[in-house]
Chains A and B, each alone.
Chain A
Amino acid sequence: MKRVAVLSACFALSLVSCGEQVSEIRIGEYGSMTGSRATFGTSTHRGILMAVDEVNAVGGIEGVPLRLISEDDQGRPEEAATAVNKLISQDRVVCVLGEVASSASLAAAPIAQKAGVPLITPASTNERVTQTGDYIFRVCYIDPFQGQVMARFAANSLRLTRAAILRDLRNDYSIGLAEVFKSTFSSLGGEIASDQSYQEGDTDFRAFLTTILATEPQAIFVPGYYTEVGLIARQARDLGFTGPLLGGDGWASPSLIGIGGPALEGCYFGNHYATDDPSPLVQDFITRYRDQYRETPDSFAALGYDAARLLIHALKKIQREDAKTFEALQGSEDPDDETRAQAMARLRDAIAEVRDFPGVTGSISIDENRNAVKPIVVLQIKDADLRLVERIAP
């Protein structure tokens, strides 16, 4: 008798837990929360979380809350692949957000593509990422554009004729940027005096810099990540270089100026948004982010926020237009594979249809290659702060 009582109690409990399980929409996120580019992952995570919390604060999408499941890949591509596998097969997420580093996104994208789960990378700028397949999107610009803009900026705005390149040879992003900079700068009549490469993790760049400086460039293009850029700047100044260093969005980190210090004064880099942009959308985002995290959001926080909001925008559209699909996207009970696959395809279409979406990082339109068409800003480091110098549209 006792056993029966226990059993029925168990049964009752399981019923209760079933009844309590509200439907929700699961969103996956993978990023480098730790490791040498930890600020990329943590900033993106904060931005995404802010967008998700905003929706949940007003009761979710028509009463259906969003649940964010985050995985740390330590900045390593092989871990990124594992993380995305787990998010898709175990957590059954409807969409994956991440990574910043192109190398990591390139490792993860084929998995999402194969599983038919949309993946939106907030900040991977390497061209090949979205070429993986029709389920892979991004909300940032691409390397060719970024490299082009910096070369145009160097040649036209700074009126430079002689530049050198110092790239990270183990990094897809860095190589991509360097190549485009090289060809654009040359086509604008400039000369590439020297093209050297280091390896991620190096701490001593004096050998490369000495070789570069012997060719007397007016500027050095360093399309690397902030950890190395700070050290490179210091060592370049030690060796007597006084010209500007130029770079891309890999510089964007709250740690950049802490590492490079005064050595970075007067340097320029292309970025996704400017904190001194007067637009109310941007200023409102910055204020709320500062309230929550006591830090000025860097561009990856802004891109994470935009990627999540773009996804939410697509989900809302589905909710309005197609209740059945919206039902299938909720995690309440697992629909059969066919229905689920159709729902995912519908979500993919909704993301692909986004035009002129007002993002913190500028107006975003998804083009036929699933890339975002949007402007780029060039910032200058001045008095240990970032200043908007120029905004260049595609």
Chain B
Amino acid sequence: MQEFLQQIVNGVSWGGIYALIALGYTMVYGILRLINFAHGDVFMVGAYLGFYAVHWFGLGRASGSAGSFLALFAFAMIGCALLGVVIERSVYKPVRRHSRLNALITAIGVSLLLENGAILLFGPDPKFFPQVIESRPMRIVSGVVVTNHQLLVLIASCLLMVGLQAIIHRTKTGRAMRAVSFNRDAASLMGINVDRIIIFTFAIGSALAAAAAVLVGLTNPKIEPLMGLLPGLKAFVAAVLGGIGSIPGAMIGGLLMGIAETLVAGYVSSTLRDAIAFALLIVILLVKPTGLMGRAGDEKV
């Protein structure tokens, strides 16, 4: 029982990361009907931004200083938001008017560009994310351990997701996003600046990926140029699992994915881990083709 609880704790902390990345996929899909395959690589860039923020500016170094730690997050998130916007403006916008297949292939191209660009720029060797906060295990029940890192992942991802929901449902921009997602042309006729909303969506999605990256850097401190590949793919699966386009769906999909993976790795075999995770996707899509939370005609952002 303790072992099972511990596995759930492990799974939830990974799942939070998947959920944050999945949000970026789902938001962009909701607005543009585009699967942004470069999203996992934006996540990777976020990890490197965090890495260099610590090394160059000493952000997050002053242990215990919450401000310095928030600055580390802010740096990576703003950096990635800019990257997301630059990618959208320079690459996706020019192909937006053409078929969706063109955009999809363009996204794969951007993904390869980011990966190989990172190999060139940062080098192919793995780097080790500095431990700005020393890991402290805490015993919640006897035999079940949660580290302060895992708690941080959980709290930070919850806060970010609540914040995102607030933006979408409580602000004018959020309402505009929902409108664009519902019907882009109609929204445009109602005087909504669709371009601005798309930029905003990319900025938010990329910033969330960067936040996930810094959290991963803390818990599993190895970063490398191809680190976005698999988590990106899994987060995409999580988004589809939850119902792509649905924000609560992305969160639930992410958590499910994390827990399923951990349980398979812990109880079955690591060889089957990815296979079972993807089999889960197929089963859910067979039973419910729109994903867990996605409903035809549902509000999509």
CA distance A237 to B6 in the complex (A): 14
* CB of A197 closer than 8 Å to a CB of B: yes
Name the CB-closest residue of A to B148: A238
Taking the closest CB of chain A, its distance from the CB of B277, in whole angstroms, is: 12
CB-CB under 8 A from B261, the residues of chain A are 207
Contact of A240 among B124, B137, B271 (CB under 8 A): B137
Type the 1/0 row for B266-290, where 1 means its CB is closer than 8 Å to any CB of A: 1101110000000000000000000
* CB of A105 closer than 8 Å to a CB of B: no
Interface stretch, picked from B53-61, B161-169, B181-189, B219-227, is B219-227
Q: Is the CB of B271 within 8 A of A197?
A: yes
CB-CB under 8 A from A202, the residues of chain B are 270
Taking the closest CB of chain A, its distance from the CB of B99, in whole angstroms, is: 35
Name the CB-closest residue of B to A38: B125
Taking the closest CB of chain B, its distance from the CB of A133, in whole angstroms, is: 31
Q: Is the CB of B2 within 8 A of A214?
A: yes
* CB of B3 closer than 8 Å to a CB of A: yes
Q: Is the CB of B220 within 8 A of A239?
A: no
Q: Is the CB of A74 within 8 A of B265?
A: no
Name the CB-closest residue of B to A72: B124
CA distance A234 to B267 in the complex (A): 22
Q: Is the CB of B131 within 8 A of A208?
A: no
* CB of A48 closer than 8 Å to a CB of B: no
CA distance A198 to B123 in the complex (A): 25
Most buried by B among A202, A207, A261: A207
CB-CB under 8 A from A38, the residues of chain B are 124-125
CA distance A231 to B147 in the complex (A): 15
Q: Is the CB of B145 within 8 A of A239?
A: yes
CB-CB under 8 A from B11, the residues of chain A are 207
Q: Is the CB of B270 within 8 A of A196?
A: yes
Q: Is the CB of A169 within 8 A of B270?
A: yes
* CB of A36 closer than 8 Å to a CB of B: yes
* CB of B206 closer than 8 Å to a CB of A: no
CB-CB under 8 A from B124, the residues of chain A are 34-35, 38, 74
In chain A between 1 and 54, which residues have their CB closer than 8 angstroms to a CB of chain B?
34-36, 38
Q: Is the CB of A234 within 8 A of B125?
A: no
CA distance A199 to B271 in the complex (A): 8
Q: Is the CB of B125 within 8 A of A36?
A: yes
* CB of A227 closer than 8 Å to a CB of B: yes
CA distance A261 to B261 in the complex (A): 28
CB-CB under 8 A from B131, the residues of chain A are 261
CA distance A1 to B9 in the complex (A): 88
Tell whether A238 pairs with B145 under 8 Å between CB atoms, given A196-B270, A207-B10.
yes
Q: Is the CB of A36 within 8 A of B224?
A: yes
* CB of B262 closer than 8 Å to a CB of A: yes
CB-CB under 8 A from A208, the residues of chain B are 265-266, 270
In chain B between 137 and 159, which residues have their CB closer than 8 angstroms to a CB of chain A?
137, 139, 145, 147, 149
Tell whether A211 pairs with B3 under 8 Å between CB atoms, given A203-B220, A238-B147, A239-B137.
yes
CB-CB under 8 A from B139, the residues of chain A are 240
* CB of B14 closer than 8 Å to a CB of A: yes
Tell whether A206 pairs with B270 under 8 Å between CB atoms, given A36-B125, A211-B3.
no
* CB of B7 closer than 8 Å to a CB of A: yes
CB-CB under 8 A from A206, the residues of chain B are 10, 262
CB-CB under 8 A from A227, the residues of chain B are 126, 222
Tell whether A258 pairs with B270 under 8 Å between CB atoms, given A206-B262, A234-B135, A238-B147.
no
In chain A between 215 and 238, which residues have their CB closer than 8 angstroms to a CB of chain B?
227, 230-231, 234, 237-238
Name the CB-closest residue of B to A255: B128
Contact of B137 among A197, A230, A238 (CB under 8 A): A238
Contact of B262 among A169, A207, A237 (CB under 8 A): A207
In chain B between 243 and 268, which residues have their CB closer than 8 angstroms to a CB of chain A?
261-263, 265-267
CA distance A230 to B224 in the complex (A): 15
In chain A between 69 and 123, which residues have their CB closer than 8 angstroms to a CB of chain B?
74
CA distance A210 to B125 in the complex (A): 29
Contact of A214 among B3, B125, B137, B145 (CB under 8 A): B3
Taking the closest CB of chain B, its distance from the CB of A257, in whole angstroms, is: 11
Top 7 closest A-B pairs, CB basis? A203-B220, A207-B265, A214-B3, A207-B266, A206-B10, A207-B262, A38-B125
Pick 30 A–B contacts, CB within 8 A, sort by A. A36-B125, A36-B126, A36-B224, A38-B124, A197-B270, A197-B271, A201-B230, A202-B270, A204-B10, A204-B219, A204-B220, A206-B10, A207-B7, A210-B3, A210-B10, A211-B3, A214-B3, A214-B6, A231-B220, A234-B135, A234-B221, A237-B137, A238-B135, A238-B145, A239-B6, A258-B128, A259-B128, A259-B221, A259-B222, A261-B131
